[in-house]
Structure 1
Amino acid sequence: MRSQEPGSAPVHRGTDHGWEVALPAGTSLDGVRMAGFRDRAAAGLDMRVLPQPVVVVVIGLGEGLVTVEGPDGSRSPRSFVASLSPGPARVRGEGIECVEVCLSPGAAYALLGVPPRELDGSVTGLEDLWGRHERRLRERMTDAGTWSERLALMDDFLARRAARAPAMAPEVAAAWDTIVARRGRVRVDDLAASSGWSRKRLWSRFSAQIGLTPKRAAMLVRFDHAARALCAGASISETALTCGYADQSHLHRDVLALAGCTPGALAGTVTSAD
């Protein structure tokens, strides 16, 4: 997972609609993206979030709590992990200050400390997974004086976990990479053939280590590209064609299942974070 040694390069900071956003110059791990967020203008947060092919970890640093309203109901943990979710969610809060970490499935398998399938497409309190380590990390980041220090603490914490982490099976990692590279336009039989495993074995190992079946993973990756295209203003017919759907009805079914609305309602809205 390690890609480069962490450096002392400054954090890139900016503002977006009253929010301070801090980005590190780089991280020491593959499959990990992180950013710091602070609601400087007390604008509050009320945003619909779509399923994405990443696992999201949020560590709250301020007094404000993030409330996540999803298929499993409403929760307001201080810090949480949102798995590869099967449906849309709404995120609300005021006075938010947090660090968000987006993990590829391979990074999540190594760093979370539990098999992804045990998260079962839900939002889980991070303290339930990391215990006292989560509390200590949150306290240290809260006390840190700068975003650079906070993000460096997060990076170091993850690097130490990665040093003793389990490795995803190469066949599973290769299957996921193929799904992503082909934007979800793959057949499970072809994935199994390229791995040298039977379809049944690939299905079982992939589901255990990714948290989704290969078919569901392909559906999620394809949907992610379609949602981004629709939000960028592409037409429904163009999106269905370029994203590999059999027809507009196929696109409609997937968007309804994963976004909870029609492609027309989704088009032109900004609902998934980068």
Structure 2
Amino acid sequence: MAVEPTIYGASERAPRGDYARAGQVRPDYTCPQNYAAYTAQDHDTYRRLYERQAALIPGLACDEFIAALPALGAKERIPRFEDINARLYKATRWEIVAVPGLIPEVPFFTLLANRKFPVTDWLRTPEEFDYIVEPDVFHDLFGHVPLLFNPVYADHIQDYGRGALKAHRLGACEQLSRLYWYTIEFGLMRQTNGLRAGSGTHGNLRAYGAGILSSSGELQHAVRSEIPNRIALSPERTMRTRYKIDSYQQTYFVIDSFQQLFDLTAPDFTPLYERVKAQPELAADARLPEDVIVAV
């Protein structure tokens, strides 16, 4: 049976990606990385994207990300997934698998629960250098994969996949997807190891979310701008909060460490889902009296 593309949110066009691909896309939506299809221009675009982001991350990305980035390997061209997997599996027993684009929730969660991270294998065009709506191979590789070399973070992603499969059965995917958005995609961290509070660029605030780390504009906005809310992470507060998909975030949730993130998301969320469903949703820029505001 042929797999079909998946649409998240409002869109006037179908998701990009060759989901037919001569029968190579498997029922779980994984496929071979079509490495021969990358052009010289693709490799050059990837190189320029990598160089730009790598130059920006000092003082803006968390120490764990900066330490892990070299493990990604090739930066002058799009890496081969099997080369990354040779290092990644040895480090944390994770591997990356190619997918043609956005995939449905259950296959996505199932892959995460089995320590397989889906990576879109196509790359944006040069005209989309500064902004792209959908995740591409650069976003997935540069933004997500380096932290999979961190054992605590890697275990958290697997637990998220397992928890998301349960949330799907309970009809709570929307609540858990907000937690994913505000942590794995757009999370911030108060970095204290080896740093003096108040030193450097905006003290010790650093990015760990892939959507921030792979975007030159969002990276600077999230850490440096005075505009957005920055609130200490509470799973319940986060699950109530809507988010933007076509602009910089208006609120960021902040953790102190990956161990704290792991511990906060370890309890059974079943009663939490029921509480969240009984409460009103919050706007993306909402600020509540009980919020713990993190100073910039």
Structure number with the higher strand fraction is 1
| TM-score, normalised with respect to structure 2 | 0.26
| TM-score, normalised with respect to structure 1 | 0.27
